[in-house]
Amino acid sequence: MTYEEAIDYLFNIAPLFQNIGAGAYKEGLDNSLKLDEHFKHPHKAYNCIHVGGTNGKGSVSHTLAAILQSAGYRVGLYTSPHLIDFRERIKVNGEMIPKERVIRFVEEERAFFEPLHPSFFELTTALALKYFQEENVDWAVIEVGLGGRLDCTNIITPQLAIITNISKDHTQFLGETLTKIASEKAGIMKPHVPTLIGEAADCNVREVFINRSIKVCSALHFAEEEYFPYTEGELKGAYQEKNQQTIRAAASLLKLDRKFVEYGLQHVIELTGLKGRWQLVCDAPLTICDTGHNPGAWQYLGPQLDTLIKKRQSDYNQKVTLHMVIGMVSDKDIRSVLSMMPQEALYYFTQASVHRAMPAEDIAALGRKAQLNGSFFPTVAEAIAAARSNAKDKDVIFIGGSTFVVADFLKNNKN
């Protein structure tokens, strides 16, 4: 079996959520517990940090992994979704799981897992936890896939649980209100395991976490109540200031030396391979991609883009046009996100190569209702080509709205 055959098998036997959405979602931990028992509970062999929340999970997870690596630990990192290669999900000290290990997992274990009819994420989680044991990691940073309480990563008992923030996303699974979403995400809080909350400005959300901590006897910490000096790290998105507060609070709870914290913040991309977070991909025209895809992300992205354009116009003393290559998936709060995007921009509406993608023509129609002017293009590549054709050297091109738009771009980007 080749690597391509193994990946095709995994994608076909266990539907991929990023492609089809709700049809791939399996509620409950039964399969995860059976897989965990089959592999003899590999996650008990190393320390874990469990990272949940609505936004910032990926940035926080990657940066904590970078900090732990800087401190000399061997670190496993499990995140989702991937942008280009499936193996991005499972890394040890920044190196992706070898293709041969993925092949061996399918060949040796399919007889056991096929009768379970597991989800793709259940299989991937089992592979990651087992691989980290084989690689003798000291720490594993495990990002929650969706929600928390019923997410298949929730079989672990970590040394620290982190919930970055709460905003509305995946409401069809987690509930329509912030308190319902918080209740699901609070499910990763476990008895006698300290929990760190990154942001909880809403008093009702805060109460959910306090009540859960009392119920499970978990020491509760709020990053917002601590003071840590903000320094410019390698990740430049405006939302990273909130993430950094959470990261520094986590590092303090883990008693990690500040010099390792600073080094990890400055070298997270180099150490972990993180992509798609306010990522600069070209200087002329300035081209940036970002995976932010919900209102919680765009409350930062929209103002940051506005500020960037104003600064460039001031610096160059000329009009600077913002070219927005935008696509979204159909199960997101598209209208709210579009209402938060800069109106003084030229839009290139498009659709990513996943079944969940909203057709380009449909999102363009919603864009027009939100007073966003532009055209639509059937593929991300065509939308980007049009933006590049229209943009002048001092202009800005932004590519995003969906993780999968960024993924399509990065797969084909030749600058």
Question: What does the pLDDT average to over 109-136?
Answer: 95
Rg for the chain, CA atoms, rounded:
21
Q: Using pLDDT thresholds of 50, 70 and 90, give the confidence band for residue 173.
A: low
Q: What is the pLDDT of residue 413?
A: 83
pLDDT at 354 over 50: yes
Q: For the domain with range 279-412, which CATH number is right: 3.30.230.10, 3.30.540.10, 3.90.190.20, 3.40.228.10? A: 3.90.190.20
Question: What does the pLDDT average to over 341-366?
Answer: 96
Q: Please state the domain extents for the chain.
A: 3-272, 279-412
The string over 332-348, giving b where at least 16 C-beta atoms fall within 10 Å of a residue's C-beta and e elsewhere, is: bbbeebbbbbbeebbbb
Q: Using pLDDT thresholds of 50, 70 and 90, give the confidence band for residue 168.
A: low
Q: Using pLDDT thresholds of 50, 70 and 90, give the confidence band for residue 15.
A: low
CA angle 222, 235, 243 (to 5 degrees): 10
Q: Which amino acid is at 367?
A: G
Task: Name which of 24-38, 234-248, 377-391 the model is least confident about.
Answer: 24-38
pLDDT at 379 over 50: yes
**3-272 and 279-412 agree in CATH topology:** no
Q: Using pLDDT thresholds of 50, 70 and 90, give the confidence band for residue 20.
A: very low
Q: What is the pLDDT of residues 67-89, one digit of tens each?
A: 999 999 999 999 999 999 999 99
**For helices 30-38 and 120-134, angle between their N-to-C axes, nearest 10 degrees:** 30
Instruction: Say if residues 334 and 390 touch (Cβ distance below 8 Å).
Output: no
Two tokens, residue 280: 């600069």
Q: What is the pLDDT of residue 414?
A: 59
pLDDT at 233 over 70: yes
Q: Which amino acid is at 318?
A: Q
pLDDT at 26 over 70: no
* CATH 3.40.640.10 applies to domain 3-272: no
pLDDT at 129 over 70: yes
CA angle 274, 278, 279 (to 5 degrees): 60
Q: What is the pLDDT of residue 175?
A: 62
pLDDT at 17 over 50: no
Enumerate the H helices of 71-119 as residue ranges.
99-113
Two tokens, residue 9: 């098998």
pLDDT at 241 over 70: yes
Task: Name which of 12-21, 94-103, 282-291, 388-397 the model is least confident about.
Answer: 12-21
pLDDT at 219 over 90: yes
> 0.85 exceeded by the pTM?
yes
Q: What is the pLDDT of residue 12?
A: 85
Q: What is the pLDDT of residue 24?
A: 45
Q: What is the pLDDT of residue 286?
A: 98
pLDDT at 16 over 80: no
Q: What is the DSSP string of 165-209?
A: -----SHHHH-SSHHHHHHHHGGG--TT--EEES---SHHHHHHH
